[in-house]
Amino acid sequence: MNKNLYKLAWNSQWQKKYDSKGEGLDGSGFFPARISSKLKNSFMVSHEKGECLCEYSGKFRHHYLESRNFHLAPGDWVIIRQQSEHDFPLIHDYLERENDFSRKKAGKSSQDQLLSANLDFLLIVSTFDRDFRARRFERYLSLVNTPLIKPVIVLNKVDLVESPQSFISQLAASGIQAEMVVTSTVTGQGIEELGQYISAGKTACLVGSSGVGKSSLLNRLMGEDVQTTREIRLKDKRGRHTTCTRQLFQLPGGGVIIDNPGIKEIAMTGNEAGLEENFEDIIALAASCKFRDCRHEGEPGCAVQAALSEGLLGHERYSIYLELRNESRNVKADKAKWQKQLGKLQKQLKKEREKRYF
Ligand SMILES: Nc1nc2c(ncn2[C@@H]2O[C@H](COP(=O)(O)OP(=O)(O)OP(=O)(O)O)[C@@H](O)[C@H]2O)c(=O)[nH]1
Ligand SMILES: [Mg+2]
Ligand SMILES: [Zn+2]
């Protein structure tokens, strides 16, 4: 394989997955590519020879999209096929992902929104002011459902605060375990440190509210302005969010980074794996509760409540945990309801069809 593919964080594991897709992938116009961004009905992909636009093949659309509601996201590896020089290449298949990062879609929908796939690091960017709340960080941290993705908190715009240390101590006191990097795209502080996470072969994804400086950090890491940032956009007055699509970039020193539009609402998906991982201390306490299904909300013999009153567990941390857990359970219940309705509809549809034939 061409070394350009490795610059997209391709490795022997992906090669193995590609090879296992069967004979005939070589020499018949097939090649691997990584989704760089999603457009309305097509994708921009990066591959060993550069970039190109491509579309789903009819088979892929039917097999994954329509039958299984499976979607691709920036970071996914796909197998595309260029049948002739004049055709648009088509997405023929995809390589099973290692992991992904999703949130629940904003609003009432109970569906998830897939933000990106195949990550090594989730860079949760925040500034030291409005955004700086343990609760918000805990949301992001609890959405990381796999130990394969390492979350890193990036505290940007440090040039604007006088005593960053008090903010940082505040975070540490609330029990947040994630590593932190303090940065400024104005003075360059912390940029090198941040860059070390995104070394050759690694993929990182920038998330956080609008205006915290995600694209500015990306530009700094790239060494050139590849993404538009706020000032430039203010002149053409086109709305609040500066970045409008997710997009993948290759850093000059190797490593891949995905920039995201600002995230306003970071809602739980109903998958509790990340929540449990992030609140290991509480989960460990819960093992000693008298009742196995203890909700830790005042039941007798509750070890979590006991730790709370003995001061072994902080009230803030406890209340964040309950808030996220309850939200997560509600989403799970909504999803189950939705699935049931969908099942009913499908059955009805099948009956209607059968009626037509007989
Ligand atoms: N003082 C200071 N300003 C910064 C820093 N980083 C970014 N900014 C400014 O913050 C504003 C927003 O930066 P962006 O990089 O566009 O923010 P973003 O997170 O990409 O925003 P969205 O694309 O809307 O999600 C711009 O005016 C930047 O110049 C920093 O370290 N210090
Ligand atoms: Mg941006
Ligand atoms: Zn309990």
* SS3 per-residue string spanning 224-237: CCCCCCHHHHHHHC
Could you tell me if 104 and 266 are in contact, meaning their C-beta atoms sit under 8 angstroms apart? no
* Ligand 1 atom closest to 209 (CA): 25
Tell how far the Cα of 319 is from the centroid of ligand 3, in angstroms: 13
Same domain, 225 and 105: yes
Residue 266 lies in a domain: no
Same domain, 108 and 79: no
Closest CA to 270 of 330, 191, 355, 182: 330
Task: Give pLDDT, residue 239.
Answer: 44
Same domain, 88 and 108: no
Residue written as token pair 């306003």: 264
Same domain, 90 and 107: no
Q: Which listed ligand is nearest to 229 at the C-alpha? A: 1
Q: Is the CB of 212 under 6 A from ligand 1?
A: yes
Residue 146 lies in a domain: yes
Q: Is the CB of 247 under 6 A from ligand 1?
A: no
pLDDT tens per residue, the chain (358 residues)? 578 889 999 999 999 999 998 765 666 788 999 999 998 889 999 999 889 999 998 888 888 887 778 889 999 999 999 877 777 899 999 999 999 999 988 777 778 889 999 999 999 999 988 667 788 899 999 999 899 999 999 999 999 999 899 888 888 888 888 999 999 999 999 999 999 999 999 999 999 999 999 999 999 999 988 887 876 444 544 445 677 788 999 999 889 999 998 888 888 888 888 899 999 999 999 999 999 999 999 999 999 999 999 999 999 899 999 999 999 999 888 888 888 888 888 888 888 878 776 6
Could you tell me if 12 and 27 are in contact, meaning their C-beta atoms sit under 8 angstroms apart? no
Q: Is the CB of 184 under 6 A from ligand 1?
A: yes
Task: Give pLDDT, residue 44.
Answer: 94
Among the three residues 65, 94, 123, which one is the final residue of a domain in this structure? 94
Among the three residues 94, 113, 134, which one is the final residue of a domain in this structure? 94
Nearest residue by C-alpha to atom 2 in ligand 1: 157
Q: Is the CB of 260 under 6 A from ligand 1?
A: no
- How many structural domains does the chain have? 3
Task: Give pLDDT, residue 237.
Answer: 42
Residue 267 lies in a domain: no
Residue written as token pair 């992030």: 278
Q: Residue 122 and residue 25: Cα distance in Å, rounded? A: 33
Same domain, 248 and 315: no
Question: Which CATH number goes with the domain that contains 8?
Answer: 2.40.50.140
Q: Is the CB of 26 under 6 A from ligand 1?
A: no
Same domain, 107 and 250: yes
113 lies in which domain range?
A: 100-259
Q: Is the CB of 230 under 6 A from ligand 1?
A: yes
Task: Give pLDDT, residue 138.
Answer: 92
Nearest residue by C-alpha to atom 22 in ligand 1: 210
Tell how far the Cα of 242 is from the centroid of ligand 1, in angstroms: 9
Same domain, 108 and 251: yes
Q: What is the pLDDT of residues 207-252, one digit of tens each?
A: 999 999 999 999 999 998 888 787 644 454 444 567 778 899 999 9
Residue 70 lies in a domain: yes
Same domain, 146 and 232: yes
Task: Give pLDDT, residue 176.
Answer: 87
Q: Is the CB of 156 under 6 A from ligand 1?
A: yes
Nearest residue by C-alpha to atom 8 in ligand 1: 213
